[in-house]
Amino acid sequence: MTTLTYEEYLDEVTTVLTELYDLDDDAAIKLVVAAQDAEFFVPHDAHEEMRTAEQAKKDAVTLFERKQNRQQTQEKQQQRVRQQKK
């Protein structure tokens, strides 16, 4: 199994996001940068064996699902606020 450099790995995660979820490049990049800021990729930087195309796909799915879950939570919170105002 071929390992990627850290930069190649992040590029691969971004590419997978655009392919699997039909995100445009800017949205995929924003998601990867936010994950970097949250230190999601720190283990990948430290452990070369984690930087594979297979792992990139798994991580892309994880990042997208987390994003979806955050959005759903925010929507539910906004609904509760609107309900309380009635």
Question: What are 43-84's pLDDT values in tens digits?
Answer: 999 999 999 999 999 999 999 999 999 888 888 888 888 888
Report the number of distinct structural domains present in the chain: 1
- For residue 76, count other CB atoms closer than 10 A to its CB: 10
- pTM check: above 0.75: yes
Do the beta carbons of residue 56 and residue 16 sit within 8 Å? yes
Angle (CA) 44-34-78 rounded to 5° is 135
Domain of residue 46, residue span: 4-83
What is the CB-side half-sphere exposure of residue 56 using CA atoms within 13 A? 26
